[in-house]
Amino acid sequence: MEKTRGLGTKMARDREISHGPSESGALLHSPAKIQLSDNHRLAASVLFRGTERACESAIEWLEKPATHMNELRDDVSTEEQAELRKLAEQLRLEIELLGSKMQLDRSHSSRRRSIAAVLSAALIDLQETQDSQFKGYGVLAPDAKKVLNESIARMAALLQKMLAVAESHG
């Protein structure tokens, strides 16, 4: 399914024509631009970015594979998945059209910096668990503590290497 991130409103309007109008259809018939104060524009930007992230997250869960630490049940039917994707596309279109009419600024993010931030936070969490930081949960057997610390040290080293790649510039 095509993603709407980064598409211009002309493309969004073209998609709306090909997929049919939104249920309300009100955006197409409203004034060209909606005038907002800077405070209202900022609040609307934050609100709609959060709505867009929630929409993306819902679709990601449909495609997300199980991992070693997370078992997933396939409890969403094919029909429900298709309906969720269709509704998500309509929601993205509404956000894009309203954002254009409200003259909302797009957020600019760096993939490199975002990846580095996620890796750095995970690294800090791992490092803080070394040397019996699980002590609040009871005494850890010496053998278990040794295995845990060695594994955490290897994971931290891998995260540091990943972080170095993410922070390199070419």
pLDDT digits (tens, 9 = 90+) for 37-90: 888 888 888 889 999 999 999 999 999 999 999 999 999 999 999 999 999 999
Domain of residue 161: give its range: 111-167
Asked whether residue 144 is domain-assigned, the answer is yes
Q: Between these two residues, 50 and 131, which has the higher pLDDT value?
A: 50
Residue 16 is predicted with a pLDDT of 46
DSSP, res 105: P
* Residues 14 and 44 both lie in one domain: yes
**Mean pLDDT score of the chain:** 81
- Within 13 Å, how many C-alpha atoms sit on residue 82's CB side? 3
What are the φ and ψ backbone dihedral angles of 107, each rounded to 5 degrees?
Answer: -75, 140
Average of pLDDT values for 153-167?
Answer: 94
- Close Cβ partners of 70 (under 8 Å, ≥ 6 residues apart): none
Query: What's the pTM?
Result: 0.63
Residue 121 sits in the same domain as residue 54? no
Residue 2 falls within a domain, yes or no? no
Mean pLDDT for the stretch of residues 133-137: 72
Better-scored residue on pLDDT, 127 or 119: 119
* Cβ 129 vs Cβ 152: under 8 Å: yes
Distance CA 81, CA 79 (A): 5
